[in-house]
Amino acid sequence: MTTAVSHDQNFKNQILDYPIEAIRFYAPEEAQALEQNPKILPIRQEQLKEQLGDSFRALDTPILLEWPNGEREALLFVIEEETQSSRFSIRRLIKYCLDITELYQTDRMVPVTIFTSSAPNAPMQLKLGGDRHTYLDFHYIKCALKELDATEHYQSDNIVARMNLPLMRYPDNQKLEVFHHAIQGLITLERDPDKQAKYADWVDIYAHLDDNEINEYEQRYPEEKQIMAGFAERYLTQGREEGLVKGEAQLLQRLIIKRYQEFPKWAQDKLNSATQEQLEAWSDRIFAAQTLEELLAD
């Protein structure tokens, strides 16, 4: 079962892989900002702490749009994902937005919240004031996926819309149609085989097909069955390769601790970002290198 943390990571990956399509789908009223082809930059999630002992707050996906010609000021998109609408707090969102605008010294910001379930009771606006004046008037863009009609997005040329089809509203008897149009969108709109494999898994996770539905789908769409089999094989191959790298890193970590009696954070960071070739080279020279710095030198 996909956990809330997995949901967060899934949406972060999707938005960072497809920032333009994500803005156009989740915040269509602000899509005009994309017409001049701004530079799109993912920015740090961890916001500044008031005290060093405080735990940090992390936004799901803050994105900065910059116009190189300088004709417009940079624009921040603060995109949050909420699996359970009952846990959503507009006050928390306001704090996030204020913190990040202070961090980047800007007043230009678009807050967006994606609800993976229906969110009829999620507050859309918060006004703070007294008897005579309103001193704070805050609202955000809401995208409640379960409130969208999947059939209206069957032919969308936006890959984010197509992969989100299983999360939208549709009759039970159209479940396989929804899955089909999501996979078709992935096949036709994404040419990178690695991303095809990656987001075929996304569609599979959120479609929740049981064994009978999988069998029916394969009979109804035999050509897609073959393509999906290729996606699955590529995904498994990637997993095996990542597992080899992880295992090599763990083995090297144990050797480092035995040889040098230490394993500082900078060394952990180097191992975490290393390729399999780097790990193998370091393993080969571990007994020749006199210090950990010498071993892990670039």
Q: Is 89 in the same domain as 213?
A: no
Confidence of residue 58 (pLDDT cuts 50, 70, 90): very low
pLDDT at 46 over 80: no
Q: Is 197 in the same domain as 109?
A: no
Q: Is 189 in the same domain as 268?
A: no
Q: Is 22 in the same domain as 77?
A: yes
pLDDT at 70 over 90: no
Provide the whole-model pTM: 0.72
Least confident range from 171-180, 220-229, 231-240: namely: 231-240
Of 285 and 134, the one with more pLDDT: 134
Q: Is 200 in the same domain as 246?
A: no
Q: Is 86 in the same domain as 22?
A: yes
Residue 163 lies in a domain: no
Q: Is 206 in the same domain as 101?
A: no
Task: Indicate the number of domains in the chain.
Answer: 3
Residue 204 lies in a domain: yes
Q: Is 213 in the same domain as 242?
A: no
Give the residue-averaged pLDDT of 272-285: 81
Residue 254 lies in a domain: yes
Q: Is 17 in the same domain as 136?
A: yes
Q: Is 211 in the same domain as 74?
A: no
Predicted pLDDT at 44 = 58
Q: Is 114 in the same domain as 193?
A: no
Q: Is 239 in the same domain as 204?
A: no
Predicted pLDDT at 157 = 97
- Give me the domain span that covers residue 112: 1-147
Residue 272 lies in a domain: yes
Chain-centroid distance of CA 7 in Å reads 8
Most confident segment among 34-43, 156-165, 260-269:
156-165
* pLDDT tens figures, 123-140: 999 999 999 999 999 999
